[in-house]
Amino acid sequence: MTKDDKKDNRKSFTLRLNAELSKKVEREADSLGLTQNSYITMVLHKVLRKEISE
């Protein structure tokens, strides 16, 4: 497996948010020093870990 293969382990898709939710994501991401993509990924990981452990 090459370095590029490891990087391409990600899946890209379009996420549509209403303006209010988009602004909340932007503010939270900024407050943590994250990109919006990183913030959404973090939130999804937390929710999925919680659901799996229940």
Give the global pTM.
Answer: 0.76
pLDDT in tens, 9-49: 889 999 999 999 999 999 999 999 999 999 999 999 999 99
**pLDDT number for residue 51:** 78
**pLDDT number for residue 30:** 99
Q: How far apart are CA 29 and CA 40, in angstroms?
A: 8
Question: 54 pLDDT exceeds 80?
Answer: no
Q: How far apart are CA 11 and CA 1, in angstroms?
A: 18
The angle at the Cα of 45, spanning 39 to 46, to the nearest 5 degrees, equals: 90
**pLDDT number for residue 8:** 73
